[in-house]
Amino acid sequence: MFKGSNVALVTPFKKGELDDETYIKLIHFHIKNGTNGLVPAGTTGESPTLSHDEHERVIELCVKESNGKLPVFAGTGSNSTEEAISLTTHAEKIGANGALIVTPYYNKPTQEGLYQHYKAINDKCGIPIIIYNIPGRSVIDMTVDTMARLYELKNIIGVKDATGDLERVILTQKKIGKDFIQLTGNDDNALEFNRRGGKGAISVTANIAPKLCSDFQKLSVKNDEESQNKANELNNILQPVHHSMFVESNPSPVKYAAKLLDLCDDDVRLPLVKVTDATKEIVKKALKSAKLI
């Protein structure tokens, strides 16, 4: 149900407020351009600076507008277990297909704490849960053993792996099995990630290059030589774009790229700021190299 190119949707703002009209247009843009799944209210969606009501509204709009055409895995994580339960049960109530739940940041829980956090959410909901393991933002790293324990629970189905450790893909598959869905959170390693057993990506770049990312993902999981050669070609085209999206803090670069493509404005909420002129040039050059502009 959740594989291939899944977009970590940006949240457009206008004068500091949610821009519902543009957000709806973005959702339909992805439906038309080959994106395989929608992930609202994640890091790229600036969830840390969304109010609780805004967080819920972003998910509601995504579910309503996608209307079953694409699966919606809502970002419902928090470093408060009770808040994560509240956001996840709300997402379930309004019809989200699943939840992407980040490991608790700042608190620095132990592995047992991580297990109990996810178990508490699992026990309160009835939709699939994907673990979001991103030590670079959360500080803590969920081990393969802890994920294996969680996979025994009814709702835990996979992981968005943003560790950057490609050996982890093989270790996880050996420990947990092929049915445990592994998605990369790092666009730049998606080709090798899939070759080692991954099923796709939750992608920042897909915001601005949905068809390229979708075509790449389809080819990258095929075993024939022609598909792999084409996947290599698309990967080479996409690499400069991937790297330009992280010259400054995400999602400032991707929002600037989206502005260049007339998809949305480049407004971000403090403490994030718009990209510098130097970064603008890097982004422009990358988009031109991929023939996106």
Domain positions in the chain are 4-222
Q: Is the dihedral of CA 31, 36, 41, 44 positive or negative?
A: negative
Annotated active-site residue in 3, 160, 218, 259: 160
* The CATH number fitting domain 4-222, selected from 3.20.20.70, 3.40.50.1000, 3.30.70.120, 3.40.50.2300: 3.20.20.70
Closest CA to 41 of 86, 76, 79: 76
Q: What is the pLDDT of residues 100-150, one digit of tens each?
A: 999 999 999 999 999 999 999 999 999 999 999 999 999 999 999 999 999
Closest CA to 190 of 259, 225, 237: 237
Alpha-carbon Rg for the chain in angstroms: 18
Regions of the chain where pLDDT drops below 50: none
Quote the CA–CA distance of 63 and 2 in Å, as a whole number. 15
Q: Which of helix, strand or coil describes residue 169?
A: helix
Quote the CA–CA distance of 254 and 207 in Å, as a whole number. 7
Main-chain phi, psi angles of 204, to 5 degrees? -80, -45
Q: Which amino acid is at 252?
A: S
Q: Which of helix, strand or coil describes residue 278?
A: helix
Quote the CA–CA distance of 8 and 5 in Å, as a whole number. 10
- Quick check: is 160 catalytic? yes
Quote the CA–CA distance of 85 and 82 in Å, as a whole number. 5
Quote the CA–CA distance of 239 and 232 in Å, as a whole number. 10
- Quick check: is 119 catalytic? no
Q: Is the dihedral of CA 246, 162, 43, 33 positive or negative?
A: positive
Quote the CA–CA distance of 52 and 31 in Å, as a whole number. 26
* Structure token digits, residue 189: 């390693």
> CA–CA distance from 190 to each of 115, 116, 252 (Å)?
27, 30, 22
Annotated active-site residue in 23, 115, 118, 132: 132
Q: Give, for 214, the enclosing helix (H) or strand (E).
A: helix 210-220
pLDDT of residue 2: 87
Strands 73-75 and 98-102: parallel
